[in-house]
Structure 1
Amino acid sequence: MEVITHIAGAYKIAELQADTVLLDNADNALQIFVDLYYQDYERVIVHEKNIIPAFFDLSSGIAGEILQKCSNYKMHMYIVGDFEKYPGKSIRDFIFESNKGKLVNFHPTVAAALEKFNQVK
């Protein structure tokens, strides 16, 4: 895993890059969040390809478990990717509602995620 550092406003943001799945369960997500926190990151950009596909099947519960870790540990996570391939109404509604908030957002590009981070106070 490679961590690319971005600065948006006063925030140091970690963009995770890897050729493999990084977030495949809540424990792995928590370990990554804790490691990043101790490196002074409070925000993370994760590419959709680095998240287990079951995350996008809300009935699996994986999304809820991982997002609960974000909430508990105040780690803002923006997921970047092509979400058009997930046509289900529940995931589409979930993405829409998440993007209204500040903690977890879904964006098509890293640039769009960074722009949103710049707007978040």
Structure 2
Amino acid sequence: MKITKVEAVGENIAVVSSNEILIGDVQSALDLMATVHYETGCDRIIINKSILSESFFDLKTRLAGEILQKFINYRVKVAIVGDFSVYASQSLKAFIYESNNGNDIFFLPTEQQAIEKLSTLK
């Protein structure tokens, strides 16, 4: 796992990248949040969708809701970056749409868009 700290508009944002799946359950998401906070002090995180288990994107597993609720509970804003058009689920598309209209969780196509979004939040 590689964590890079980016500053944009006075906000510090951690960008997490890895060649392997880092989040497969709620505990691994909590561990990632703790590691990022310890190493960078950031409460805004960008992750690539490739570090998430594919079961995250199957809403029937409830994994996405459970994991993202932890981010909200700990007041960590997160942007998940990647191509989400590969998923046919209308429920997932609605979930992504609703998340993107909120203030805590975002699903965006590029890291640059994620940096811009997270740096402008209050």
Asked whether the two chains share a fold, i.e. TM above 0.5, the reply is yes
Paired residues in the alignment total 121
Distance (whole Å) between structure 2 residues aligned to residue 93 and residue 78 of structure 1: 17
CA contact (8 A) 2:77 2:105 kept: yes
Query: TM-score, normalized by length of structure 2?
Result: 0.95
Q: Distance in 2 between matches of 1:116 and 1:87?
A: 25
**1:119 Cα offset (Å):** 2.1
Moved more, 86-95 or 36-45: 36-45
Report the Cα distance in structure 2 between the residues aligned to 1:102 and 1:33, rounded to whole angstroms. Answer: 18
- Which residue in 2 is equivalent to 1:89? 90
Runs of 4+ in structure 1 over 4 Å off: none
Q: Secondary structure at the match of 1:14?
A: strand
Uncovered stretches (5+) of structure 1, i.e. residues with no partner:
none
Please tell me whether the aligned partners of residues 79 and 108 of structure 2 are also in contact (alpha carbons under 8 angstroms).
Answer: yes
Structure 2: give runs of 5+ residues left out of the alignment. none
- Structural RMSD (CA): 0.9
Cα shift readout 1:15-35 (whole Å, capped 9, x = no counterpart): 111100011111010011112
Tell me, yes or no, if the aligned pair for 2:77 and 2:118 is still in contact at 8 Å: no
C-alpha distance in 2 between matches for 1:49 and 1:37 = 21
* TM-score (norm: length of structure 1): 0.95
Query: Aligned-pair distance for 1:13?
Result: 0.9
Percent of aligned pairs with the same amino acid: 36
Distance 1:69 1:31 in 2: 11
Q: How does 1:15-30 map to 2 (within 5 A)?
A: 15-30=15-30
Tell me what 1:106 maps to.
107
Q: Write the distance in 2 (CA, Å) between the matches of 1:30 and 1:118.
A: 22
The 5-angstrom pairing of residues 46-61 of structure 1 reads 46-61=47-62
- The answer to whether the 8 A contact 1:98-1:104 is kept is yes
- Corresponding position of 2:67: 66
Cα distance, 1:102 vs structure 2: 1.4
